[in-house]
Structure 1
Amino acid sequence: MAPLPPRPRTPLRRVSQGSLRALSRSGSFPDAPAGLGFLEPAMSELADETDALHGNLAGLHALSNSLHTFNESFASYLYVMEMNALTTDWPQAPTETSYQLAKKRAEDDARAAQAALRAAVEAAEAAEKAAAAEAEEALANDTTVVSASAAPPSKMKAPSGILKHPAGLPKKKPKPKMTAKERRERSLAIEKVVMNLPLEYRGQDPSLRRHVESVIELLMDNPTGLEMINFAKLPDLNQARANKCLLALMNRKIVTKDNSSGRISYVWHGVAE
C-alpha cells in the first residue's frame, strides 16, 4: 500500500515559525535588543495612548455631568414658571365684563355714526330745498316785469338787466308734476344707471350717490344737452363734484360730450340695452 501524501498546510506567518529571539535577531532588525527588550518602546507607546484614552473618557464623563446638571436646572426653571403662571393673578387681563363693555361701546359708536349720517343727509336735503327755493325765487324775479308808477299800462317797460338771462343758462321752465307711476319709473331708470357706475357711486359715499342721481335726473329732463354750469347747485353740489359725476357717466358711455355748437355740452344717451 502506497503511503498517503502529506496533508497540505497553510503557510504560517513568520512570527509563528520562530521564537521571539530569532525574530529579534532577523535581518530586518539587526540592531534589535536581545530577548524581550524590543517590546519596551512598544509598551511605552501603548501606555501613552492608554493615558490619552483615559483622559478623553474623563472629559466625556465631565460633559455628561454638566449636561445632566443643566437639564435639571432648566427643568426646575420651567416648572417654577408654570407654577407661577398658575398661581399668580393678573388684574389687567380682560374679563367677561371687559368684553361686555367693548361690545356696548361698539354699539354706541355704530348708533352715533348712523345718527351723524342721518343728520348729514337731512342737512343736505335742507340745503337742496333752500337752493331750489332760491332758484325759483330768482326765476320769478327774472320773469317779473317792473312797471313805472307814472307810465300808463301801454308803456310799461322792464328795467335793463331784469329780463336778460345770464349767458349759457337756459331759462328754467316750471317742471311738470309727475304721477306716482312716472316717479317710480324714473327712480328705477336712475337706479339702473347708478348700478353701472363704480362702487363709490353705488352707496359707498351717500353724498356722492345723491349728487350723481341729481346729475342723471337733470340730463334725463334735458336730453338735448346741458352745459357744465347747469349742473352746479351750491352749496352742496359744486362744479368739481358735478364734473366728477359726468366723467363717471362718460366712462360708461352713458353721456357724451358735444362741442359742435362752440360750447361744450353733455348729451344723455342712457344705458345700452
Structure 2
Amino acid sequence: MGSAGLLLVLTLLALGWLLREPLAQAWRRRRLAQQPFPAAWRAVLRQHWPYFRRMPADLQLQLKKRMQVFLAEKPIIGCGGLEVTDEMRVLIAAQACLLLLNRSQSRFDGVRQILLYPGAFWVQRPVTQDGGVQHEQRRALSGESWVQGQVILSWDDVLRGAADAGDGQNVVIHEFAHQLDQAKGAATGLPADISRWQRARWAAVMSGEYAAHQQRAAAGQVSLLSDYAVTDPAEFFAVASEVFFEQAEALSQQHPALYEQLSRYYRLNLLSWS
C-alpha cells in the first residue's frame, strides 16, 4: 500500500473513531425515549405541575421522551442532608425539558449535574462598592448556574415554581436558560446556538428591550419582567425566558418583538396552546 493509500485508511479510521461516540449516544437516547413512561412519573406531573395539562398532546409526549433521556444522563444530587426522591427528579426534569421542545437533546450536553438543596442556599460573592472597595457579601439564593455545567437549585423554589405555572417566576427555567447561554462560555444573553442570520435581529431586539427595562426600573414603573432582569443581559434573557413560558399572552401583548424572538429561539408558539 502506498503512502496515499495508508493516509486514506488512517483518515477513515480516525473519522470512524470520532463518529463512534456521537452515534452511540444517539442510539442510547433513542432507546431511552422508546421506553414506556413510568406511571408514577405521570402521576407526579398531573398532581404537582398544572402546566403539563395545558400542553398539546404531541408536546406532552415529546416532553416525556426528553425527560427520560435527561433523567438517565443528568445526576441530581441532594445537598444539605436532602434525600432526592423521584418526585423531585421528575419535576426538575419536566421544567428543564420545556426548553428542549422541538429542539435537540444535545442542547443540554454541557449540563453535568444538578445539585439540590432543601431550601435557599447561602453563597459568598465579592461585591465592589463605590470607590472600588471590594468585600465579601453573603447572599441566600434559590438557584445558580455555573459555566462548568452545574445547576444548583432550591427544592422549595422548584416546587413553588411548579405549583404556580402562571406567575412568570420559575427557577428551573431561569437556571437552565443560563445553561443554554453558557454552552460556549460565560453567559452574555446571546446563546451560541442562535443562527448567524438571526443574531443581528436578536441583538437589536434584546438590547432595546433591556435598555427600556432599565429605564422602567429606574423610574419605579411596574413591569411584567422582574427587577432582577436589570442586572445584566444574561439575567435579562433568563428572566424573559421565565415570562415567555409562563406568561406568553401578556408578553406578546406588552413586548411583541421580545415574544417573537423568544418564540423563534425556543421554536414554540405558546399562544396556540389555548
If the TM-score is normalised by the length of the shorter chain, which range does it land in?
under 0.3
More strand by share: 2
TM value normalised by structure 2 = 0.26
- Bigger RCO of structures 1 and 2 (CA < 8 A, at least 6 apart): 2
